[in-house]
């Protein structure tokens, strides 16, 4: 551990230059870490959205077993107690990070999506189909592209 020496006044302590160097080093570390942290947070949000799409996919399969057709909206899945009402409420929420919707549904096929919302930096969407395949990505204004990293 560094032991401060005596200064010219005979008192122990750190010099202004030593304190300034420490502040500069901390500033550099923060400036490097902040963008990495923000990207990691956005990847976590995207992975959560993909997980919610998997929930919709599972709900659609259960709904199909009962009705022999896929539900054409989240309200139908929520009525059957197959998804949380919070997924449906993203359509009217003013602060939702992703808005979920069933884009298309027939007796044999469906597509559901999670669209990135309420962000000036990120844009895009991810989709899931009746086979459970997730596609899509989101893009940052600086060109960085993130794709869902889901466990199969």
Decide: 49 and 114 in contact? Cβ < 8 Å. yes
Tokens of 11: 């008192």
Residue 19 CA: distances (Å) to CA of 23, 27, 46, 97:
6, 12, 40, 41
Q: Is-contact 121 140, C-beta < 8 A?
A: yes
Give the C-alpha separation, 67 to 56, whole Å. 16
pTM: 0.80
Alpha carbons within 13 A on the beta-carbon side of 102? 23
> In the prediction, which pLDDT does 94 show?
86
pLDDT band at 4 (very low <50, low <70, confident <90, very high): low
6 compared with 92, residue with greater pLDDT: 92
Domain ranges of the chain: 16-146
Averaged pLDDT score across all residues of the chain:
90
């Amino acid at each position: 551990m560094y032991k401060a020496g005596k200064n010219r006044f005979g008192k122990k302590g750190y010099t202004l230059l030593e304190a300034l160097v420490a502040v500069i080093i901390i500033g550099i570390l923060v400036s490097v870490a902040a963008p990495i942290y923000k990207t990691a947070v956005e990847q976590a949000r995207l992975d959560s959205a993909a997980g919610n799409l998997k929930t919709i996919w599972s709900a659609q399969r259960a709904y199909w077993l009962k009705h022999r057709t896929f539900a054409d909206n989240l309200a139908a899945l929520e009525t059957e107690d197959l998804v949380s009402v919070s997924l449906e409420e993203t359509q009217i929420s003013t602060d939702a990070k992703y808005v979920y919707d069933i884009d298309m549904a027939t007796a044999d096929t469906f597509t559901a999506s999670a669209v990135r919302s309420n962000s000036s930096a990120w844009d895009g969407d991810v989709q899931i189909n009746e086979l459970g395949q997730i596609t899509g990505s989101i893009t940052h204004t600086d060109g960085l592209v993130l794709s869902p990293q889901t466990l199969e």
